């Protein structure tokens, strides 16, 4: 666990020294959701109906926007190569990197989502389901996207390739995440849908770091 704690602290410090990587996904999330009503209609009924999908798609794209730089900095300075040749399993260092990345980029999206949901006329009683779904869904999006980022870390300008790799894998999280908010909006029970999101998150956290480590080794040629 000392390896996990040291890696987590290092990644958080490095992330705080580059605030643009934190602000850009959050700014993108806020701008997309805020501008969406201008492209449709200011009608509260229409916006309330579309709000779950709009917020979730914007969150998904904001998470994906931050993934390209997840391992890029370490790959350019040689720290990634040192990590790969270091003794021991890569599970804990990779898990710490993913946790730090989510704390810096995913957690702000979760915190600001209720405000954006209120702006799109979601009822107050639905906002609780919105942030819970994002709290369960955004870490899963980070882990899944990290697999694609690991496979494309050595590819220059691999953003399009990264999107092609991870977008199909994002579909279940998107469906259940937006679906839980839609069910709450219709007054239906949502605990079962949130439980599925929790199961996806548990599967991603338990197996995802192994897949990320394997992707890093493949991309580095080890």
> Residue 108: its pLDDT value, please?
93
Among 52-61, 116-125, 167-176, 213-222, name the one with the lowest average pLDDT.
213-222
Q: What DSSP string runs through the chain?
A: -HHHHHHHHHHHHHHHH-HHHHHHHHHHHHHHHHHHHHHS---HHHHHHHHHHHHHHHHHHHHHHTTTTTTHHHHHHTHHHHHHHSSS-SHHHHHHHHHHHIIIIIHHHHHHHHHHHHHTT--HHHHHHHHHHHHHHHHHHHHHHHHHHHHTTTSTT-HHHHHHHHHHHHHHHHHHHHHHHHHHHTT---HHHHHHHHHHHHHHHHHHHHHHHHHHHHHHT-
Length of the chain: 222
Asked if 8 and 96 touch (Cβ cutoff 8 Å), the reply is yes
- For residues 49-68, give the mean pLDDT: 89
Asked if 93 and 1 touch (Cβ cutoff 8 Å), the reply is no
**Whether the predicted pLDDT of 221 surpasses 70:** no
For the whole prediction, is pTM greater than 0.85? yes
pLDDT in tens, 82-117: 777 666 678 888 898 899 999 999 999 999 999 998
Asked if 26 and 109 touch (Cβ cutoff 8 Å), the reply is yes
Q: How confident is the model at residue 76 (pLDDT cuts 50, 70, 90)?
A: low
- Closest listed residue to residue 7, CA positions, set 74, 67, 66: 74
């Amino acid at each position: 666990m000392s390896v996990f704690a040291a890696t987590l602290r290092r990644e958080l410090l490095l992330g705080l020294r580059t605030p643009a990587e934190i602000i850009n996904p959050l700014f993108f999330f806020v701008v997309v959701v805020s501008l969406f009503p201008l492209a449709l209609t200011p009608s509260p009924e229409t916006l309330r109906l579309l709000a779950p999908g709009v917020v979730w798609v914007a969150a998904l794209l904001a998470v994906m926007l931050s993934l390209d730089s997840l391992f890029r900095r370490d790959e350019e300075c040689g720290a990634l190569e040192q990590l790969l040749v270091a003794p021991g399993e890569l599970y804990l260092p990779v898990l710490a990197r993913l946790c730090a990345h989510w704390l810096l980029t995913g957690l702000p999206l979760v915190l600001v989502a209720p405000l954006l949901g209120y702006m799109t006329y979601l009822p107050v009683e639905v906002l609780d389901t919105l942030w819970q779904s994002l709290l369960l869904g955004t870490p899963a999006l980070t882990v899944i996207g990290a697999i694609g980022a690991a496979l494309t870390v050595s590819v220059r300008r691999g953003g399009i390739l990264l999107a092609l790799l991870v977008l199909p894998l994002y579909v279940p999280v998107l469906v259940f995440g937006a679906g839980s908010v839609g069910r709450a909006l219709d007054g239906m029970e949502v605990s079962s849908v949130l439980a599925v999101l929790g199961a996806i998150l548990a599967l991603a956290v338990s197996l995802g770091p192994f897949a990320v480590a394997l992707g890093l080794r493949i991309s580095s040629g080890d």
